[in-house]
Amino acid sequence: MTKITVNGIKLFVLDILFPSRCPFCGEFIMWNELCCESCREALTAANDVICRKCGQDKCRCNEKRSFDAVYGSYFFDDENVAGAVYRFKHEGESNLAELAAADTVRHMKAEEMPLPDFIVPVPMSVKKRIARGHNQAELFGKILGKALKIPMRRDILFKIDTKDEQHKHTEAERKKRVKTLFYGGNADLSGKSVLLCDDVMTTGSTLNECAAILKNAGAELVIVSVCAVTRLNGQNSSDKKHMRKE
């Protein structure tokens, strides 16, 4: 017969009160888990694959970048990752960000990356932030800040209001447009190292522009952390077995 313990009852009650789901496939998971076992095994650990300097699966270090290192935990084009990013972005479902933050911290420590002075989230325009109620880059930044025990600053980078969305443009257009979208405050970042974070890195043009503004303000080191990166070599290791059950 199964022995009933106080702790067992507590866990049982927590599972009923706060049913948790895998951010990728939607399976029910224990309240103290962040994703299910099969997704943990099926998804490619992007941090083990990407070039640490440019953050791409196919190194693009020949193109000039303003950031110094990139940490990305998942490949956006892997099965169910886009869905997890969508739910994080629009519904604030934070398991993906918790997983990515823990993974980033683990890699940074193993690689003896110096601890940044603070975190700067990629900003959202004021209008859009009010409409959505949150900025997912800030949510990720808060979780990263907790894990690394460093503060997050929202007084450094800003974004102008525009209805024209960056993701609707081609890579060449994005590179040109991005230069007009962001601006820095008056902070002097001389000698500072900054952790710049966002939910996804696609071509890297947004993060590159934000990093350039930080460098212009004096930042010595800009490390990027994102939950997911987009593959440039066009392959993906999607596993059809892991469709999200709604």
Interface with Zn ion (CB under 5 A): 22, 24-25, 27, 36, 39
Taking residue 55's Cβ as centre, other Cβ atoms within 10 Å add up to 26
Minimum distance between the CB of residue 24 and Zn ion, rounded to whole angstroms? 4
* Residue 184 φ/ψ, nearest 5 degrees: -100, 160
Judged by beta carbon, residue 25 or residue 222, the one nearer Zn ion is 25
Minimum distance between the CB of residue 25 and Zn ion, rounded to whole angstroms? 3
Cβ-Cβ contacts under 8 Å for 187 (sequence gap 6 or more) = 153, 155, 156, 217
CB 139 within 8 A of CB 92: yes
Buried b (16+ CB within 10 A) or exposed e, 158-177: bbeeeeeebeeeeeeebbeb
Could you tell me the two tokens for 170?
Answer: 């081609």
Minimum distance between the CB of residue 142 and Zn ion, rounded to whole angstroms? 24
Judged by beta carbon, residue 43 or residue 217, the one nearer Zn ion is 43
Could you tell me the two tokens for 202?
Answer: 């696609």
Taking residue 64's Cβ as centre, other Cβ atoms within 10 Å add up to 7
SS3 163: coil
Minimum distance between the CB of residue 98 and Zn ion, rounded to whole angstroms? 14
Taking residue 212's Cβ as centre, other Cβ atoms within 10 Å add up to 20
* Residue 199 φ/ψ, nearest 5 degrees: -75, -45
Judged by beta carbon, residue 36 or residue 210, the one nearer Zn ion is 36
Q: Quick one: which of 214, 197, 220, 172 has its CA closest to 70?
A: 197
